[in-house]
Structure 1
């Protein structure tokens, strides 16, 4: 791939700064909206099914019953089952179209430019938040949240924003340390936006209510749309692909990447590719699945978290995982291969999921967060392991295939979480977490095979992980 033009490189801040602002706002709006929608749905179904308890269903209070022998507690389990099914429909509405849009838009941007598809993704998030705000204010049917989310999925949501934003950074920087640094900065901006959205949602809901919280998401998403308009097109006409996007050919390239040997890369093996992508699949399934049910899980007995407490807890959990994993990778790489570090991170994830599943009180949840503080290590390391085995001219196909797997996991894990949780909440609430702990254990076993295989290969000398 040719490097960026000197003009673009000299003025890269004109692109990079509004790019960071746009994505910070979008991730903040998206995550605040998700938590607000789930908490509103929980309260709405509780009031709808058991109107005699409406006095206790204010957003300022915990929405659960602590007396397990009471009728109110049995009512709570019925609410949990209904709301988790509703959440399942929302996950399907986002995930099904997102699998296709994520495969199409990223490749189409190589020939049509980056800006149109970033704009589509931002508008999709804004429209969903706007319609949900109106639904809460005017008390529309709660199931209208499903088609509202469908709009976001068709437009690509945050997945397209992330993929194309990384492409923009590649357009405006030269290959090497400059590009790596700017990708790191952009990734940090995404993480900050995600955490801020999680943190503020509980406070706004507690202080002002669900309508103001969703309206705040709508306003922030609107700011992102405006900021997006100020981002100059980063892909010059001379650097665009002449051939148009071919959906069938793109699918074939992705399948062949794992099905056929590559004569251009004699040091790689199909077995290592397949083991790595399977491990990545199970790790992402176990990582993304709990997100679809965790708000419901924490709101109910025996934890009885308030929306404000959920915000604090989730923020602390995310930040400890990200920071400790990042620092730990840098330190441990001096004495361990990446496969072994990924194995340790996966073991940390298994322990955390099991503790979440069996936790009889909230103190066990805090212990689980501490035990799972290194859980994020495996994901970037697996990307790097596969990238190391891949020649430069096929890096795009590699990361395209990883993106497809990630989107499939986003859809499948959310559906699985909602289905398992809704069917098991009445007799053992932590079953879904134990199921995902089992999936993470499968990834652990696959990484054991990868660790053993890596000891037989010497081509890894000098490898640095892809962050």
Structure 2
């Protein structure tokens, strides 16, 4: 029985106590290429929260601010571009009659809004692609709390820039400045990396999938509340007041992390942030299997599950930016309130996915749970691709009620494939992949949407459904392979 199998069986407290002496005895031998101590040397002390809540409020508040500002930013871009071009928005009669050809000016507004969404996303996430893995791997030796605090200050600074743009009616290109400043601090992806790494530090293998799913449910619940509040608030008071709440929420998240989060790793005061060692740790993880090495099959699973995670998350974030555009334009022509309810319905799937995952784990293995989640996502996207009424849109949202069941399973499987001392390096890589998902998803879908308006308005959603068949096939094949191997081993 290997160490990972033992870790899956031993209770968490006993495992922590029994491994402490081994980690200390190995500390003198484990050095990286630069002669610096590895993450194992700085193994976390026993860190047990007195209550079951740890980093969940940090993720809740950060996601609340993100979900509050994202649709409002798209709507603000739409309104500013419409004002510049002289387009009167969805008030034209064509919105109530799908047989009327779309206004060419509306197509131009849609195209420019999609392109500005793309430019802003590209700017922020291209910077984050470099910064996030650096911060995530650094947290392995310097501690998690800093990686939870710093990005929230960056997001608050972005909100300040957005407020200045709205107060002074500066050109929309100034939004890009705010995104770049946020990207330099790690952006929301650094918060994600820190939270998931923290949960991996304090959970055992049996409970990890559900703990990860709880974090993702926090994303959905906060997103649902922010979507409802944002749509109604914007309709009543405009854009500026909601963005003041965005600023306050980011500052509150940073303050909570500073005051209430207990450190889950033993910080090394000599750890340097600007060091190539952090990138080497990620490279070593995927090239050699990490500190303890790994068989080709083990490394292959790591790569395949990472590919699945990349495709699923890229589709999630790529299509999410299109929902608002799709609903703003004819024949739907939704107002801010309906857009808020639609975003809330989508985010409610985080909670329903958590409940569904908990129920399905009683009778299904994690891989089959992930496949059920992907089927839910694919069917919802197919309905979106042909939806031309409000009823069909909400039907699509309803069919997606389990669409987030796949990502916690994939995160958990990746976490279980590596040594406990490499969780920071792993989630640094996952955060890097997630940044790339934002980059690729925004690029592909914001470019594909205006390019396919002339022959099928919902083609982007159909394309997303086809892409999700790839991770479904990989996860199913790996699970069948594992089951055959277990059956062969038990027979022998």
For this structure pair, what is the TM-score category when the shorter chain's length is used for normalisation? Answer: 0.7 to 0.9
Q: Which residue of 2 aligns with 1:46?
A: 82
Does the residue aligned with 2:173 lie in a helix, a strand or coil? Answer: helix
Over 3 Å counting, the alpha-carbon distance change for 1:340 and 1:193 in structure 2 is closer
Q: Which residue of 1 aligns with 2:279?
A: 251
Q: Which residue of 2 aligns with 1:425?
A: 453
After superposition, residues 320-399 of structure 1 pair within 5 angstroms as 321-399=349-427
Displacement, 1:372? 2.2
CA displacement 1:394-428 (0-9 Å, x = unmatched) = 44433332222122111110111111112223442
Over 3 Å counting, the alpha-carbon distance change for 1:303 and 1:276 in structure 2 is same
Does the residue aligned with 1:293 lie in a helix, a strand or coil? Answer: helix
* Inter-partner Cα distance in structure 1 for 2:346 and 2:444: 22
Over 3 Å counting, the alpha-carbon distance change for 1:370 and 1:174 in structure 2 is closer
Over 3 Å counting, the alpha-carbon distance change for 1:187 and 1:449 in structure 2 is closer
Selected match of 2:112 from 74, 82, 106: 82
The count of residues paired between Structure 1 and Structure 2 equals 447
* Inter-partner Cα distance in structure 2 for 1:174 and 1:445: 29
After superposition, residues 438-457 of structure 1 pair within 5 angstroms as 438-457=466-485
* Inter-partner Cα distance in structure 2 for 1:186 and 1:442: 26
TM-score when normalising by structure 1: 0.83
* Inter-partner Cα distance in structure 2 for 1:70 and 1:84: 23
Displacement, 1:64? 7.8
Q: Which residue of 2 aligns with 1:300?
A: 329
Q: Which residue of 2 aligns with 1:273?
A: 302
Q: 380-389 vs 278-287, which deviates more? A: 380-389
Displacement, 1:206? 0.8
Confirm whether residue 4 of structure 1 aligns to residue 48 of structure 2: no
Over 3 Å counting, the alpha-carbon distance change for 1:393 and 1:120 in structure 2 is closer
Q: 119-128 vs 378-387, which deviates more? A: 378-387
CA displacement 1:315-346 (0-9 Å, x = unmatched) = 12221x22332232233333333222222221
CA displacement 1:278-315 (0-9 Å, x = unmatched) = 22221111111112222111111122211111111211
Displacement, 1:95? 0.7
* Inter-partner Cα distance in structure 1 for 2:93 and 2:172: 18
Confirm whether residue 95 of structure 1 aligns to residue 125 of structure 2: yes
Q: RMSD between aligned alpha carbons?
A: 3.4
Unaligned runs of 5+ in 1: 462-467
Over 3 Å counting, the alpha-carbon distance change for 1:267 and 1:381 in structure 2 is farther
* Inter-partner Cα distance in structure 2 for 1:159 and 1:368: 27
Does the residue aligned with 2:363 lie in a helix, a strand or coil? Answer: coil
Q: Which residue of 2 aligns with 1:140?
A: 170
* Inter-partner Cα distance in structure 2 for 1:107 and 1:388: 17
* Inter-partner Cα distance in structure 2 for 1:184 and 1:443: 19
Over 3 Å counting, the alpha-carbon distance change for 1:249 and 1:164 in structure 2 is same
CA displacement 1:7-65 (0-9 Å, x = unmatched) = x757x67x967x655543332222211121111111111121125x3xx67xxx79984
Q: Which residue of 1 aligns with 2:223?
A: 194
* Inter-partner Cα distance in structure 1 for 2:316 and 2:390: 20
Over 3 Å counting, the alpha-carbon distance change for 1:345 and 1:180 in structure 2 is closer
Unaligned runs of 5+ in 2: 1-39
Q: Which residue of 2 aligns with 1:436?
A: 464
Confirm whether residue 163 of structure 1 aligns to residue 200 of structure 2: no
* Inter-partner Cα distance in structure 2 for 1:449 and 1:419: 32
Q: Which residue of 2 aligns with 1:34?
A: 70
CA contact (8 A) 1:133 1:218 kept: no
CA contact (8 A) 2:212 2:408 kept: no
Displacement, 1:384? 2.6
Over 3 Å counting, the alpha-carbon distance change for 1:108 and 1:175 in structure 2 is same
Displacement, 1:440? 0.8
Displacement, 1:92? 0.7
Displacement, 1:145? 0.9
Over 3 Å counting, the alpha-carbon distance change for 1:137 and 1:71 in structure 2 is farther
* Inter-partner Cα distance in structure 2 for 1:287 and 1:452: 26
* Inter-partner Cα distance in structure 2 for 1:98 and 1:408: 9
Over 3 Å counting, the alpha-carbon distance change for 1:222 and 1:399 in structure 2 is closer
* Inter-partner Cα distance in structure 1 for 2:405 and 2:488: 19
Does the residue aligned with 1:141 lie in a helix, a strand or coil? Answer: coil
Over 3 Å counting, the alpha-carbon distance change for 1:298 and 1:397 in structure 2 is same
CA contact (8 A) 1:62 1:299 kept: no
CA contact (8 A) 2:209 2:408 kept: no
Does the residue aligned with 2:103 lie in a helix, a strand or coil? Answer: helix
Q: 175-184 vs 239-248, which deviates more? A: 175-184
Displacement, 1:203? 0.7
* Inter-partner Cα distance in structure 2 for 1:177 and 1:438: 32
* Inter-partner Cα distance in structure 1 for 2:267 and 2:203: 14
* Inter-partner Cα distance in structure 1 for 2:58 and 2:410: 28
* Inter-partner Cα distance in structure 2 for 1:257 and 1:227: 32
Over 3 Å counting, the alpha-carbon distance change for 1:93 and 1:437 in structure 2 is same
Does the residue aligned with 1:336 lie in a helix, a strand or coil? Answer: coil
Confirm whether residue 107 of structure 1 aligns to residue 137 of structure 2: yes
Q: Which residue of 1 aligns with 2:26?
A: none
Q: Which residue of 1 aligns with 2:444?
A: 416
CA contact (8 A) 1:42 1:79 kept: yes
